[in-house]
Amino acid sequence: MDPENTTSVTVLGGQWGDEGKGKVVDLLSAGVHAVVRYNGGHNAGHTVKFADRHFALHLVPSGVIHPGVRCYMGAGMVVDPTALLAEIDDLEHRGVRFDHRLMLSGRAAIILPTHQALDGARERARGEGSIGTTGRGIGPTYQDLAQRRVLRAYLLKEPHRFAVEASMLMEAHNRELELLYRVEPVDVAGAAARLEAAAARLAPLVGEVGPPILEHVRRGDSLLFEGAQGIMLDLYQGTYPFVTSSSCLPGAAAVSCGVPVAVLGPSLAVMKGYVTRVGGGPFPTELSGETGNHLRDRGHEFGTTTGRPRRCGWFDAVAARYAARVAGLDGIALMKLDVLDDLEELRIAVEYRLPGGGTCSEPPDDPQVLATVEPVYETLPGWRSRTAGLLDEKDLPARAAEYIRFIEERVGAPIVLVSTGPRREETLTRGDTVLARRLAGLIAGGSVREQP
Ligand code: IMP
């Protein structure tokens, strides 16, 4: 195996999630042989729009929409069997043919209905300090994984054994729900019957994902590793404790799939031209007034998974530069530039002023300090003309081009792709780095790729 032969790319969120990864992965999937999702569960919501079709994917890698692309779900994922089946059924109903293209790692962790109940109960118990989780049972499942009692997907191949082991764990969860949180227990017998039926249907998807991924590498295939959530929601490097429960960083893809990091290729972080966040936690550049509402309305900033309105704010180059450092980013895909078209001026946070005096150029590790920093802004003039739908960098208004260059310089990573609208085709590529050339090749490959 020679990783140098691969044309892999790792695509991940560069902010607090919801950056538009679905569109980027979909765009690049047209030219790849396989897409690998490596973390999280159905807390994610990846939206893909093309022609008059609109898909919201939560678990299945976005590449599945392209016929012939193989899809893998890594061991670092947490999977609710019922949610996965519902998503597969919905996609099939809408004309997506799976043709044995989807494989789920036997080592992935299984979310049970009691994990979801615990997620809700623990959030309520946190009160003011609640994280604002998606309520899908993600945290309690990763907690059971670390506690070494979670059920893993290989059990789906033995539905009866799976139902028995799931019942035992659900009974233990029910005791916690009743005694600690004083909430109604989950009906274990009913849940176990549904899980057994789901297991029987999902069993053929389960396998060891490392060997087929390495086989792709040996053949010189193009692979796309797809991360969920975002760098600032990473369990280790994000704004802890207001984070998700998995690692979203590129290296997590290797851990999740059991493959060397060398096969992951360059990393591309997706970031919006502004920032959004759902749930609790510090957000230094948050806008509460008219401009925040404008961004929310114009950018349709409501959650794909929960429908919650997203908090909106100016582009935060302090967080983005930190993200570029901890993830070793090779490039950025800048999304939703067109949402900024009407603004008179734009602000970008370039430093944080600390409550006790002085400034810092990286987000502090202490959430109490991060919650009280004041962003130091640079102000740039708005372009007040239409970038929506532009396909060529040369057509960008001069001030929009200046905004892009400013971000790139402050963050320290090249912006290789700019999105000017929700549709697949409303995208332009720029620059001449290895990553930029690889992306241009993948996008172009899409138009010539043979559809079986
Ligand atoms: P959990 O992942 O459901 O436990 O939620 C933990 C935090 O991550 C909350 O602030 C969620 O809003 C956030 N989060 C989880 N998944 C996503 C996502 O796909 N997009 C944006 N935020 C997310």
Distance 391 CA to ligand 1 centre (A): 32
Distance 144 CA to ligand 1 centre (A): 18
Q: Could you give phi then psi for residue 411, rounded to 5 degrees?
A: -85, -30
pLDDT at 55: 84
Residue 451 has pLDDT above 50, yes or no: no
Verify that 88 and 225 share a domain, yes or no. Answer: yes
Verify that 50 and 118 share a domain, yes or no. Answer: no
pLDDT tens profile 136-173: 999 999 999 999 999 999 999 999 999 999 999 999 99
pLDDT tens profile 63-97: 899 999 999 999 999 999 999 999 999 999 999 99
Verify that 257 and 395 share a domain, yes or no. Answer: yes
Distance 438 CA to ligand 1 centre (A): 30
The Cα–Cα gap between 40 and 20 comes to: 16
Residue 2 resides in a domain: no
Give the percent of the chain with pLDDT over 70. 97
Query: Probe ligand 1: pick from 244, 245, 248, max atoms within 8 Å of CB?
Result: 244
The gap from C-alpha 262 to its chain's centroid, in whole angstroms, comes to 21
Verify that 51 and 168 share a domain, yes or no. Answer: no
Residue 246 resides in a domain: yes
Pull the structure tokens for residue 89: 């059924």
Binding site membership of 414 for ligand 1 (Cβ less than 6 Å): no
Please identify, among 168, 186, 205, the residue that sits at the C-terminal boundary of a domain. 205
Verify that 182 and 298 share a domain, yes or no. Answer: no
pLDDT at 46: 82
The enclosing domain of 150 has a CATH number of 1.10.300.10
Calculate the average pLDDT of the chain.
Answer: 94
Closest CA to 76 of 260, 305, 258: 258
Kindly indicate the confidence band of residue 5, based on its pLDDT and cuts at 50, 70 and 90: low
Residue 1 has pLDDT above 70, yes or no: no
Number of domains present in the structure of the chain: 2
Q: What domain range includes position 159?
A: 109-205
Verify that 257 and 402 share a domain, yes or no. Answer: yes
Residue 263 resides in a domain: yes
pLDDT at 320: 98
Residue 82 resides in a domain: yes
Distance 385 CA to ligand 1 centre (A): 34
Mean pLDDT of 423-440: 90
Verify that 374 and 265 share a domain, yes or no. Answer: yes
pLDDT tens profile 359-370: 999 999 999 999
Binding site membership of 120 for ligand 1 (Cβ less than 6 Å): no
pLDDT at 52: 73
Mean pLDDT of 244-256: 98
Binding site membership of 387 for ligand 1 (Cβ less than 6 Å): no
Query: Probe ligand 1: pick from 134, 142, 144, 306, max atoms within 8 Å of CB?
Result: 134
Q: Which residue has the tokens 């559809």?
A: 451
pLDDT at 452: 33
Residue 359 resides in a domain: yes
Specify whether the CB–CB gap between 59 and 38 falls below 8 A.
no
Please identify, among 162, 185, 205, the residue that sits at the C-terminal boundary of a domain. 205
pLDDT at 434: 87
pLDDT at 3: 47
Binding site membership of 43 for ligand 1 (Cβ less than 6 Å): yes
Please identify, among 146, 176, 205, the residue that sits at the C-terminal boundary of a domain. 205
Give the percent of the chain with pLDDT over 90. 87
Verify that 125 and 228 share a domain, yes or no. Answer: no
The enclosing domain of 261 has a CATH number of 3.90.170.10
Pull the structure tokens for residue 362: 């990286």
Binding site membership of 133 for ligand 1 (Cβ less than 6 Å): yes
Query: Probe ligand 1: pick from 18, 248, 278, 286, max atoms within 8 Å of CB?
Result: 278
Which residue has the CA at smallest separation from atom 21 of ligand 1?
A: 17
Atom of ligand 1 nearest to the CA of 136: 3
Residue 137 resides in a domain: yes
Verify that 246 and 369 share a domain, yes or no. Answer: yes
pLDDT tens profile 352-404: 999 999 999 999 999 999 999 999 999 999 999 999 999 999 999 999 999 99
pLDDT at 13: 98
Kindly indicate the confidence band of residue 450, based on its pLDDT and cuts at 50, 70 and 90: very low
Residue 336 has pLDDT above 60, yes or no: yes
Residue 283 resides in a domain: yes
Verify that 437 and 299 share a domain, yes or no. Answer: yes
Pull the structure tokens for residue 38: 């490596």
Distance 25 CA to ligand 1 centre (A): 19
Specify the pTM.
0.95
Residue 76 resides in a domain: yes
The gap from C-alpha 120 to its chain's centroid, in whole angstroms, comes to 22
The full 3-state SS of the chain, as one line of letters, equals CCHHHCCCEEEEECCCCCCCHHHHHHHHHCCCCEEEECCECCCCCEEEEECCEEEEECCCCHHHHCCCCEEEECCCEEECHHHHHHHHHHHHHCCCCCCCCEEEECCCEECCHHHHHHHHHHHHHHHHHCCCCCCCCHHHHHHHHHCCCCCEHHHHHCHHHHHHHHHHHHHHHHHHHHHCCCCCCCCHHHHHHHHHHHHHHHHHHEECCHHHHHHHHHHCCCEEEECCCCHHHCCCCCCCCCCCCCCCCCHHHHHHHCCCHHHHCCEEEEEECCEEECCCCCCCCECCCHHHHHHHHHCCCECCCCCCECEEECEEHHHHHHHHHHHCCCEEEEECHHHHCCCCEEEEEEEEECCCCCEECCCCCCHHHHCCCEEEEEEEECCCCCCCCCCCHHHCCHHHHHHHHHHHHHHCCCEEEEECCCCCCCEEECCCCHHHHHHHHHHHHHHHCCCC
